[in-house]
Amino acid sequence: MNDKWQQLIMQWDGINQQLLDLMNERARMATEIMQEKQKQGIAKDTPVGNQQLLSELAAHTFANPKANKEAPAERQLLVSRQYKSEDTIIQVKHAEIGGSSHTIVAGPCAIESREQLLTVATTMKNAGINVLRGGAFKPRTSPYDFQGLGEEGLKIMKEVADETGMVTISEIMSPAQIDTAARYIDIFQIGARNMHNFDLLRAVGQTQKPVLLKRGLSATIEEFIYAAEYLLASGNSQVMLIERGIRTYEKWTRNTLDISAVPILKQETHLPVLVDVTHSTGRKEIMLPCAKAALAAGADGIMIEVHPNPQVALSDAKQQLNINEFNTFLQGLRDSGLYR
């Protein structure tokens, strides 16, 4: 809290709280006065004035758009539209994210072998798609599950990228992985489980590499926006957001895809917004309609997992598309007329 504006925001919040407390107290007194008047037989309809004053005060303080505009908390978030009205477009080599065309980020859940990654990258290249994903440091629920190939996986990714011209993206889970990963990949991914890892956000924020930030498992949109703010406040403006589904009571999908987050994030921030149809749904047969919904809602791109042989995948075997399914998915998206 050493920034002047952060201190001012704290003071501002404090004043708001005091005003609310006073208004509540005033409302309570209004009732008391009415009761007293009733007891003494004074006409019920004698205006006490409190209610009206409160509405006027409320209207002035909270509903007047001009008054709202002056709220520093809103105006000063670096991720906000108020701070920067134009869309942020992220140029990574020959890929442009957040610009006039949609971006498809595809690739396996985890990098397993050179052959596996090359097969997917070649399919993507043939389809005119150029952002390849693949995990090398995998955040697995069980410590006994495949944890990813680590640096070895990133080396494979770089080789495949050099061969196919892919722009690459891979997850890092700790600040200690930043320097190693930076040597091999083009975009850092901060996964859902680390959206609240503030040390990681600050450390990635101190690099100039583009970063794709995933929404936390149970993060509100506001928390998601503040997590992105950590990156920008630390000096990195190359930030993309991705909705990947949130935890609800619903069991028929892996997570609940919050489509409403897309227009809200587009409205509230100037950052590119993508939608991960794999981890949000966990169901191959609804990925296409969900991707269409995402594009219709204004998303700048889609993330989807693809594996040459999903049945034997070392992670997320159930939900990765095989090559044919991926081609059908792409065709469906193109046929929809929503994909540009």
Residues that bind ligand PEP (CB under 6 A): 109, 135, 139, 171, 191-193, 214, 244, 276, 279
Nearest to 303 by CA among 316, 84, 25: 316
Which of ligand PEP, Mn ion, none does 214 bind, CB closer than 5 to 8 A by kind? ligand PEP
By the rule CB under 5 A, 186 interacts with Mn ion: no
Q: For 189, phi and psi rounded to 5 degrees?
A: -110, 130
Nearer to ligand PEP, 77 or 109 (CB): 109
Pick the stretch among 16-24, 101-109, 195-203, 212-220 that binds Mn ion (CB under 5 A): 101-109
* Out of 95, 109, 167, 333, the residue judged to bind Mn ion by CB under 5 A: 109
CB of 110 to ligand PEP, least distance (A): 8
Nearer to ligand PEP, 80 or 255 (CB): 255
The Cα 227–Cα 196 span in angstroms is 7
Nearer to ligand PEP, 225 or 242 (CB): 242
Q: Is-contact 61 67, C-beta < 8 A?
A: yes
Pick the stretch among 71-79, 80-88, 104-112, 171-179 that binds Mn ion (CB under 5 A): 104-112
221-233 and 261-268 are packed helices; what angle lies between their axes, rounded to 10 degrees?
40
By the rule CB under 5 A, 316 interacts with Mn ion: yes
CB of 147 to ligand PEP, least distance (A): 12
User: Do β-strands 103-107 and 95-97 pair in parallel, antiparallel, or remain unpaired?
Assistant: unpaired
CB of 260 to ligand PEP, least distance (A): 18
Nearer to Mn ion, 79 or 172 (CB): 172
Nearest to 200 by CA among 164, 224, 231, 225: 231
Q: DSSP readout, 219-255?
A: --HHHHHHHHHHHHHTT---EEEEE--B--S--SSSS
The Cα 276–Cα 147 span in angstroms is 21
Q: Per the structure block, which two tokens stand in for 221?
A: 């949109």
- Strand, coil or helix: 203: helix
Which of ligand PEP, Mn ion, none does 139 bind, CB closer than 5 to 8 A by kind? ligand PEP
The Cα 118–Cα 132 span in angstroms is 10
The Cα 228–Cα 176 span in angstroms is 20
The Cα 287–Cα 295 span in angstroms is 12
Please work out the total of residues on this chain that contact Mn ion, with binding judged by CB under 5 A.
2
Q: Is-contact 131 93, C-beta < 8 A?
A: no
CB of 289 to ligand PEP, least distance (A): 20
CB of 138 to Mn ion, least distance (A): 8
Nearest to 153 by CA among 166, 172, 167: 172
Nearer to Mn ion, 171 or 229 (CB): 171
Which of Mn ion, ligand PEP, none does 244 bind, CB closer than 5 to 8 A by kind? ligand PEP
Return the number of other C-beta atoms located less than 10 Å from residue 316's C-beta. Answer: 19
Which of ligand PEP, Mn ion, none does 192 bind, CB closer than 5 to 8 A by kind? ligand PEP
Which of Mn ion, ligand PEP, none does 148 bind, CB closer than 5 to 8 A by kind? none
The Cα 74–Cα 61 span in angstroms is 15
Q: Is-contact 279 254, C-beta < 8 A?
A: yes
By the rule CB under 5 A, 181 interacts with Mn ion: no
Which of ligand PEP, Mn ion, none does 171 bind, CB closer than 5 to 8 A by kind? ligand PEP
Which of ligand PEP, Mn ion, none does 301 bind, CB closer than 5 to 8 A by kind? none
Nearer to ligand PEP, 81 or 193 (CB): 193
CB of 107 to Mn ion, least distance (A): 10
Nearer to ligand PEP, 76 or 113 (CB): 113
- What residues line the site for Mn ion (CB under 5 A)? 109, 316
